Amino acid sequence: GEEITDLPLDHERPMHTILTSADLEVFAHIHPRAQRDGSYSVKTTPPRAGTYRLYTEFVHDGEKILARREISVGATNGGGAQLTPDLSPKTIEGTTVSLDAPGILRAGEPVHLDFELTRDGEPVTDLSPYLGAAAHVALVSEDGSAFAHGHGEAIDKGAEEAAHGGGSHGKGGPTGCPN
Protein backbone atom coordinates (compact mmCIF):
# COMPACT_ATOMS: atom_id res chain seq x y z
CA GLY A 1 0.00 0.00 0.00
CA GLU A 2 3.00 2.37 0.08
CA GLU A 3 3.84 4.65 -2.82
CA ILE A 4 6.95 3.76 -4.80
CA THR A 5 8.76 6.93 -5.84
CA ASP A 6 12.36 5.88 -6.41
CA LEU A 7 12.28 3.95 -9.67
CA PRO A 8 15.69 3.35 -11.27
CA LEU A 9 16.32 4.02 -14.95
CA ASP A 10 15.62 1.03 -17.17
CA HIS A 11 16.49 1.57 -20.82
CA GLU A 12 17.05 5.26 -20.15
CA ARG A 13 13.63 5.87 -18.50
CA PRO A 14 12.13 4.90 -15.12
CA MET A 15 8.87 3.75 -16.71
CA HIS A 16 7.70 2.60 -20.15
CA THR A 17 4.09 2.27 -21.26
CA ILE A 18 2.89 0.55 -24.41
CA LEU A 19 -0.62 1.64 -25.41
CA THR A 20 -2.56 -0.51 -27.90
CA SER A 21 -6.12 -0.40 -29.13
CA ALA A 22 -8.15 -3.59 -28.58
CA ASP A 23 -7.97 -4.29 -32.34
CA LEU A 24 -4.15 -3.73 -32.22
CA GLU A 25 -4.33 -1.14 -35.00
CA VAL A 26 -3.09 1.63 -32.65
CA PHE A 27 0.30 1.32 -30.95
CA ALA A 28 2.23 3.92 -28.95
CA HIS A 29 5.33 3.69 -26.76
CA ILE A 30 5.04 6.47 -24.19
CA HIS A 31 6.97 7.39 -21.05
CA PRO A 32 5.24 8.52 -17.86
CA ARG A 33 7.21 11.27 -16.11
CA ALA A 34 7.88 11.69 -12.42
CA GLN A 35 5.84 14.46 -10.79
CA ARG A 36 6.87 16.63 -7.83
CA ASP A 37 4.83 14.47 -5.45
CA GLY A 38 6.66 11.31 -6.63
CA SER A 39 3.80 9.97 -8.73
CA TYR A 40 4.10 9.32 -12.48
CA SER A 41 1.93 10.88 -15.14
CA VAL A 42 1.61 10.75 -18.91
CA LYS A 43 -0.48 12.67 -21.41
CA THR A 44 -1.48 11.04 -24.66
CA THR A 45 -4.24 11.43 -27.22
CA PRO A 46 -5.92 8.22 -28.34
CA PRO A 47 -6.78 8.75 -32.02
CA ARG A 48 -10.32 7.36 -31.81
CA ALA A 49 -12.96 6.02 -29.44
CA GLY A 50 -12.59 2.47 -28.24
CA THR A 51 -10.93 0.17 -25.73
CA TYR A 52 -7.20 0.61 -25.11
CA ARG A 53 -4.75 -1.48 -23.16
CA LEU A 54 -1.81 -0.05 -21.25
CA TYR A 55 1.18 -2.27 -20.51
CA THR A 56 3.47 -0.43 -18.09
CA GLU A 57 6.94 -1.72 -17.22
CA PHE A 58 9.30 -0.55 -14.49
CA VAL A 59 11.89 -1.98 -12.14
CA HIS A 60 11.42 -2.11 -8.37
CA ASP A 61 13.79 -3.82 -5.92
CA GLY A 62 15.67 -5.31 -8.87
CA GLU A 63 12.56 -6.97 -10.30
CA LYS A 64 10.89 -6.09 -13.61
CA ILE A 65 7.22 -5.26 -13.00
CA LEU A 66 4.53 -5.36 -15.69
CA ALA A 67 1.20 -3.71 -14.90
CA ARG A 68 -1.68 -4.16 -17.35
CA ARG A 69 -4.67 -1.80 -17.43
CA GLU A 70 -7.61 -1.33 -19.76
CA ILE A 71 -9.29 2.00 -20.41
CA SER A 72 -12.30 3.06 -22.47
CA VAL A 73 -12.29 6.19 -24.61
CA GLY A 74 -15.75 7.39 -25.62
CA ALA A 75 -18.17 4.79 -26.92
CA THR A 76 -16.53 1.40 -27.30
CA ASN A 77 -17.39 -1.05 -30.02
CA GLY A 78 -16.00 -4.08 -28.18
CA GLY A 79 -14.24 -5.30 -31.32
CA GLY A 80 -11.03 -7.20 -30.64
CA ALA A 81 -8.15 -8.00 -32.93
CA GLN A 82 -8.63 -10.46 -35.77
CA LEU A 83 -5.05 -11.24 -36.72
CA THR A 84 -3.77 -13.10 -39.75
CA PRO A 85 -0.10 -13.92 -40.32
CA ASP A 86 1.70 -11.28 -42.38
CA LEU A 87 5.44 -11.75 -42.79
CA SER A 88 5.76 -9.50 -45.83
CA PRO A 89 8.42 -6.75 -45.67
CA LYS A 90 7.22 -3.32 -44.49
CA THR A 91 8.63 0.02 -45.71
CA ILE A 92 8.50 3.03 -43.40
CA GLU A 93 10.07 6.36 -44.36
CA GLY A 94 12.26 4.66 -46.99
CA THR A 95 13.56 1.86 -44.73
CA THR A 96 12.34 -1.67 -45.44
CA VAL A 97 12.12 -4.12 -42.54
CA SER A 98 11.99 -7.85 -43.27
CA LEU A 99 11.21 -10.44 -40.60
CA ASP A 100 12.46 -14.03 -40.57
CA ALA A 101 10.56 -16.01 -37.93
CA PRO A 102 9.94 -19.71 -37.31
CA GLY A 103 6.81 -21.11 -38.94
CA ILE A 104 5.38 -22.14 -35.57
CA LEU A 105 5.70 -20.19 -32.31
CA ARG A 106 4.83 -21.91 -29.06
CA ALA A 107 3.70 -20.20 -25.88
CA GLY A 108 6.25 -20.43 -23.08
CA GLU A 109 9.16 -21.25 -25.42
CA PRO A 110 11.94 -18.88 -26.50
CA VAL A 111 11.80 -17.63 -30.06
CA HIS A 112 14.51 -16.14 -32.27
CA LEU A 113 13.37 -13.39 -34.63
CA ASP A 114 15.65 -11.93 -37.29
CA PHE A 115 14.95 -8.49 -38.72
CA GLU A 116 16.81 -7.12 -41.72
CA LEU A 117 16.75 -3.43 -42.52
CA THR A 118 17.48 -2.12 -46.01
CA ARG A 119 17.25 1.24 -47.74
CA ASP A 120 17.20 1.34 -51.56
CA GLY A 121 18.10 -2.36 -51.53
CA GLU A 122 21.25 -1.82 -49.46
CA PRO A 123 21.75 -2.91 -45.82
CA VAL A 124 21.19 -0.16 -43.25
CA THR A 125 24.39 0.20 -41.22
CA ASP A 126 23.98 3.61 -39.58
CA LEU A 127 21.40 2.99 -36.87
CA SER A 128 21.95 4.18 -33.32
CA PRO A 129 20.67 2.51 -30.15
CA TYR A 130 17.24 3.67 -29.01
CA LEU A 131 16.54 3.71 -25.28
CA GLY A 132 19.70 1.72 -24.60
CA ALA A 133 19.12 -1.14 -27.05
CA ALA A 134 19.80 -1.89 -30.71
CA ALA A 135 16.22 -3.15 -31.17
CA HIS A 136 12.95 -3.37 -29.27
CA VAL A 137 10.15 -5.83 -29.98
CA ALA A 138 6.75 -5.81 -28.31
CA LEU A 139 4.53 -8.87 -28.67
CA VAL A 140 0.84 -8.70 -27.74
CA SER A 141 -1.56 -11.62 -27.93
CA GLU A 142 -4.66 -11.30 -30.08
CA ASP A 143 -6.90 -10.97 -27.01
CA GLY A 144 -4.49 -8.58 -25.25
CA SER A 145 -4.04 -10.82 -22.23
CA ALA A 146 -0.35 -11.55 -22.86
CA PHE A 147 2.47 -9.07 -23.44
CA ALA A 148 6.21 -9.52 -23.90
CA HIS A 149 8.92 -6.97 -24.56
CA GLY A 150 12.35 -8.03 -25.79
CA HIS A 151 15.56 -6.45 -27.00
CA GLY A 152 17.66 -7.41 -29.97
CA GLU A 153 21.28 -6.94 -30.77
CA ALA A 154 22.95 -5.58 -33.89
CA ILE A 155 24.69 -8.22 -35.94
CA ASP A 156 27.19 -7.48 -38.69
CA LYS A 157 25.96 -10.11 -41.15
CA GLY A 158 29.09 -9.90 -43.30
CA ALA A 159 31.34 -10.60 -40.32
CA GLU A 160 29.03 -13.35 -39.08
CA GLU A 161 29.00 -15.08 -42.49
CA ALA A 162 32.79 -14.80 -42.77
CA ALA A 163 33.19 -16.34 -39.29
CA HIS A 164 31.00 -19.26 -40.34
CA GLY A 165 32.75 -19.84 -43.68
CA GLY A 166 30.09 -18.09 -45.75
CA GLY A 167 32.38 -15.40 -47.11
CA SER A 168 32.01 -11.69 -46.57
CA HIS A 169 29.33 -9.83 -48.45
CA GLY A 170 30.04 -6.47 -46.89
CA LYS A 171 28.56 -4.96 -43.76
CA GLY A 172 25.03 -5.93 -42.90
CA GLY A 173 22.49 -3.92 -41.00
CA PRO A 174 21.35 -4.45 -37.43
CA THR A 175 19.30 -7.62 -37.21
CA GLY A 176 18.17 -10.12 -34.68
CA CYS A 177 16.04 -10.37 -31.58
CA PRO A 178 17.21 -13.37 -29.60
CA ASN A 179 14.13 -13.63 -27.38
From the CB of residue 58, how many other CB atoms can be counted at a distance below 10 Å?
Answer: 20
CA atoms within 13 A on the CB side of 156: 10
> Which pLDDT does position 89 carry in this prediction?
95
Distant-in-sequence, close-in-space partners of 127: CB < 8 Å, separation ≥ 6: 117, 134, 154, 173, 174
Q: Report the alpha-carbon distance of residue 25 to residue 52 in Å, rounded.
A: 10
Does residue 176 carry a pLDDT above 70?
no
> Which pLDDT does position 158 carry in this prediction?
52
Q: Where are the alpha helices (DSSP H) in 32-169?
A: 157-163
- Compare 159 and 139 and report the one with higher pLDDT: 139
Q: Report the alpha-carbon distance of residue 35 to residue 134 in Å, rounded.
A: 29
By percentage, how much of the chain surpasses pLDDT 70? 84
pTM for the whole thing? 0.71
